[in-house]
Amino acid sequence: MERSLDPELLELALGPHASLPSAESLAALLTQAELGILAREPIVSEELRSVGWYLHGIASSRVAQELYGIERQRAAFQVAGHIFDLYLNSGIFSESDRLKYCFAAQIAYLRGDLTPNATAIYHREFDRLETTSRLSDTGFIPDYERIAISLGVALLGFNVGYIFDVTRGIIRDANRLARIWEVDTLAATPFGAALGVVSGVRDIMSFLVYGRQDLLNRARGTLRNAITADASLQDHTSRWVAAHLLNIGDGLEQSSVWTVLPPEVPPAVRRAFVAGKPSILTLWPAQLEMLNIREPNIASPLSTQVRRLIISTPTSSGKTTISQLLITSHLATESTSVCYVAPTRSLCREVRRSLERRLRFLSRYVIDGLPDDSSWDTDFDTEPSVEVMTPERLSFLVRQNPSAVLARFGMFIFD
């Protein structure tokens, strides 16, 4: 809330104008809306929603960076995303508006470099999106616009299983209709734009899960055709979704685990993240910044040349994922184990559970929690693994045999 009311952010987002509210007036509108939600008397004014769509529109313009600069574009997306998020939180909307505002907020957060917010809004709203949960039982033709925007929402929420299940049925239904209507494809019908979104979403997700660059390239062509399809010019919703998905395609490619991780990282590590639970298909800005180091004398954190690394980022910015990347990369390329030190036994259990879902793709395992005073002589084999332990246990092992500790563990992570 504090950042959303930052006068500098609001002034930057609004820019020079004659008809919009001032930064102070916009802050007052935001405050009123937020306090109304907290008091369970939600009111999101029409003026506030209009500002949100204006900022979303100018930031989405093809020439936005050229006209306004990247900083203003980012600020406009961030403020617009927050306004739409407030509207969703208010609960005063129709079912179709819920989908529209959810998708618009996700796009705004992604392009405003607030990727975690885009994921969070999907998880918060998904249970409420009754239309989305029913799509697999809905025919394509009666609800083609709603299907298009629902799949856009699901893609930006990285719901892998849902997208593959639903798009498979829709494409099968569309092919059946094409045979009945004696046409090669529905692309040249009024349903072409929506079908283009369906196919594009499936191909983008296939790239994110399997690393298939050819499918991402095909998705780009499919989405371009959906935007310009003459027979679908009246389908504004599907074409709007297609345009935004096309615009964020480069961002999804550059943040994909198939693209970001260095070539020397084995494919099994990538599979551990895209197929593990929870599925991680793209990395967040703070994670990308750490991995995409371009300084000539600084190695990637995943390089074996790196001997020491301190990670300090805000809460919920993705440090756990970075630690799992370091662990899986080490176990996939080195013959030594990993020691993960966490301050409490409860946190140790949590870390062990999350790691187990990744390491099974590397045929590695996590050592169950052992008493602080147990030794390795009878409890351990020599296969590389991960032991998550308290500082007290590490202290005991070092006192018992420091040489054995250093021989067994090639990586130490202190949380």
Residue 339, classed as helix, strand or coil, is strand
Place of tokens 């930057």: 12
Task: For residue range 380-415, list pLDDT tens digits in order.
Answer: 556 789 999 999 999 999 999 999 999 999 999 998
CB-CB neighbours of 223 under 10 Å:
27
Lowest-confidence segment of 88-92, 187-191, 279-283 by average pLDDT = 88-92
* CB of 147 closer than 8 Å to CB of 198: yes
Per-residue pLDDT, 135: 44
Task: Report the range out of 195-199, 286-290, 355-359 with the highest average pLDDT.
Answer: 195-199
Torsion angle of the four alpha carbons 261, 203, 285, 341, in this order, in degrees rounded to the nearest 10: -50
What DSSP character marks residue 61?
S
Instruction: Output the average pLDDT for the chain.
Output: 88
- Give the separation between CA 210 and CA 293, rounded to whole angstroms: 25
**Pair of tokens at residue 338:** 């990993």
Distance of CA 82 to the CA centre of its chain: 17
Contacts of 389 (CB under 8 A, 6+ apart): 339, 340, 341, 342, 348, 369, 370, 372
**Pair of tokens at residue 91:** 């609960």
Q: How confident is the model at residue 196 (pLDDT cuts 50, 70, 90)?
A: very high
CB-CB neighbours of 362 under 10 Å:
18
- Give the separation between CA 228 and CA 223, rounded to whole angstroms: 9
Interior angle at CA 302, CA 214 and CA 268, nearest 5: 50
- Give the separation between CA 120 and CA 107, rounded to whole angstroms: 13
- Give the separation between CA 256 and CA 115, rounded to whole angstroms: 13
Task: For residue range 12-38, list pLDDT tens digits in order.
Answer: 999 887 788 999 999 999 999 999 888
The residues that bridge with 338 in the sheet, in sequence order, are: 386, 411
Per-residue pLDDT, 64: 80
